[in-house]
């Protein structure tokens, strides 16, 4: 079964075709980052307008790369929540039009469910149940994935998402948006023990995260330097910040694996492209006899292949949408 999927939840306009949830036939991502970079972050109205302008062409390019015709598509999947509402509505409207014109099923896909599905594309043997850590620009969740379409949220951030903390630290250091990758690169030449930043815990909720306290500690350190007209060692700051993030996420995922008696761990989302985080997770999982499944780096950020993959499993679970499908800015993964 070939699922054609659309993703427009934030600042990437993406289309993909995936066969039986696992095999990528074609995947196209048109990013708007260069334009949002001018403003230091995503400007929602600009994002919606750019999706509107490019979605049809992105769909056509994706089909052409696959050497397929729309008539050879079996279903249309689309991200409908959560995300920027104007952006989501562009994708949902396009997908509805396509589904109606082709007379093929329409499948609504939750953005976080699709991030988890990115791991199916890179690990053909991976099957639920497993424990997933989603670390993206908008979310940081630990989820017990009981089955392809059954989820239980085990922990979440109480304030900033992991990616948000990366982006804010990067911004304070003068790096362009989105700063996660810049922090990753700078940290490679830094000393991770230069600063002992806090690793905040949430009282009474051992699996929840709080990245805001860590972010504030790094920003305070940067301001300290500025007040003294000193130039901070950016590489050391990035490496020490990243080390604290590595400690925070690896401790919780190992603890959650024990509590839920899970040996399969999936880590996904944009921040999972981080080289130090990937290396640390591999080390900690090996030490604790856990099998780690990561998406390929190209599938960590927003893309439509992961939407098509999850769309296939939603279809198998009879989760078919109709022409009244709407978009939602926020929606729990276990809706
Ligand atoms: O999953 P994603 O593409 O979009 C959301 O659903 O939010 O994640 C984007 C986030 C941004 O905060 C970006 O800075 C971060 O992922 N990111 C990274 C790296 N690459 C992307 N953070 C740390 N290290 C990276 N290499
Ligand atoms: Zn995302």
Query: How many whole angstroms separate alpha carbon 189 and alpha carbon 94?
Result: 45
- Same topology between domain 2-116+300-316 and domain 124-297: yes
Structure tokens at 112: 């976080």
- Could you tell me the distance, in angstroms and rounded to a whole number, from the CA of residue 76 to the centre of ligand 2? 19
Query: How many whole angstroms separate alpha carbon 296 and alpha carbon 292?
Result: 13
274: Cβ–Cβ under 8 A, 6 or more apart, which residues? 166, 180, 184, 242
pLDDT in tens, the chain (335 residues): 999 999 999 999 999 999 999 999 999 999 998 999 899 889 999 999 999 999 999 999 999 999 999 999 999 999 999 999 999 999 999 999 999 999 999 999 999 999 999 999 999 999 999 999 999 999 999 999 999 999 999 999 999 999 999 999 999 999 998 899 999 999 999 999 999 999 999 999 999 999 999 999 999 999 999 999 999 999 999 999 999 999 999 999 999 999 999 999 999 999 999 999 999 999 999 999 999 999 999 999 999 999 999 999 999 999 999 999 999 999 999 99
Write down the architecture of domain 124-297 according to CATH.
Answer: 2-Layer Sandwich (3.30)
The response to whether residue 301 sits with its C-beta less than 6 Å from ligand 1 reads yes
Cβ neighbours, 10 Å, residue 316: 13
Q: List beta partners, residue 153.
A: 143
- Could you tell me the distance, in angstroms and rounded to a whole number, from the CA of residue 69 to the centre of ligand 1? 33
Instruction: Answer yes or no: are the C-beta atoms of 210 and 202 closer than 8 Å.
Output: yes
- Could you tell me the distance, in angstroms and rounded to a whole number, from the CA of residue 303 to the centre of ligand 1? 12
| Residue among 30, 36, 270 to mutate when testing ligand 1 (max atoms within 8 A of CB) | 270
The Cα-based distances of 201 to 2, 86, 131, 159 in angstroms read 44, 35, 20, 12
Res 40: pLDDT:
87
232: Cβ–Cβ under 8 A, 6 or more apart, which residues? 173, 221, 222, 225
Query: How many whole angstroms separate alpha carbon 68 and alpha carbon 15?
Result: 13
Write down the architecture of domain 2-116+300-316 according to CATH.
Answer: 2-Layer Sandwich (3.30)
What is the position in ligand 1's atom list of the atom closest to the CA of 138? 7
| Residue among 301, 302, 307 to mutate when testing ligand 1 (max atoms within 8 A of CB) | 301
Measured in degrees and rounded to the nearest 5, phi and psi for residue 191 equal -100, 115
Listed by start position, the domains of the chain span: 2-116+300-316, 124-297
Query: How many whole angstroms separate alpha carbon 248 and alpha carbon 33?
Result: 28
226: Cβ–Cβ under 8 A, 6 or more apart, which residues? none
Query: How many whole angstroms separate alpha carbon 140 and alpha carbon 99?
Result: 32
The response to whether residue 314 sits with its C-beta less than 6 Å from ligand 1 reads no
Res 286: pLDDT:
98
């Amino acid at each position: 079964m070939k699922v054609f999927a659309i993703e427009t939840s934030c600042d990437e306009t993406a289309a993909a075709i995936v066969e039986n949830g696992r095999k990528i036939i074609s995947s196209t991502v048109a990013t708007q980052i260069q334009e949002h970079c001018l403003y230091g972050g995503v400007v929602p109205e600009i994002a919606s307008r750019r999706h509107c302008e490019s979605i049809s062409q992105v769909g056509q390019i994706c089909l052409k790369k696959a050497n397929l015709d729309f008539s050879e598509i079996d279903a249309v999947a689309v991200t409908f929540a959560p995300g920027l509402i104007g952006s989501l509505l562009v994708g949902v409207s396009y997908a509805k039009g396509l589904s109606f014109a082709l007379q093929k099923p329409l499948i609504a896909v939750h953005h976080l469910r699709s991030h988890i599905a990115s791991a199916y594309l890179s690990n053909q043997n991976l099957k639920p149940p497993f424990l997933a850590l989603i670390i993206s620009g908008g979310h940081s969740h630990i989820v017990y994935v009981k089955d392809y379409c059954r989820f239980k949220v085990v922990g979440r951030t109480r304030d900033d998402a992991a990616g948000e903390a990366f982006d804010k630290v990067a911004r304070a250091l003068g790096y362009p948006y989105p700063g996660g990758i810049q922090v990753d690169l700078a940290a490679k030449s830094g000393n991770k023990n230069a600063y002992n930043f806090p690793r905040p815990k949430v009282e009474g909720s051992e699996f929840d995260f709080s990245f805001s306290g860590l972010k504030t500690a790094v920003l305070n350190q940067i301001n300290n330097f500025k007040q003294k007209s000193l130039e901070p060692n950016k590489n050391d700051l990035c490496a020490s910040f990243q080390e604290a993030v590595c400690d925070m996420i690896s401790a919780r995922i190992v603890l959650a694996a024990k509590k839920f008696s899970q040996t399969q761990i999936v880590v996904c989302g944009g921040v999972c492209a981080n080289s130090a985080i990937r290396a640390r997770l591999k080390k900690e999982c090996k030490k604790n006899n856990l099998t780690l499944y990561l998406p390929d780096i190209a599938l960590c950020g927003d893309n439509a292949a992961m939407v098509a993959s999850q769309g296939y499993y939603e279809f198998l679970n009879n989760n078919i949408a109709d022409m009244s499908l709407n978009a939602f800015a926020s929606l729990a993964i276990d809706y």
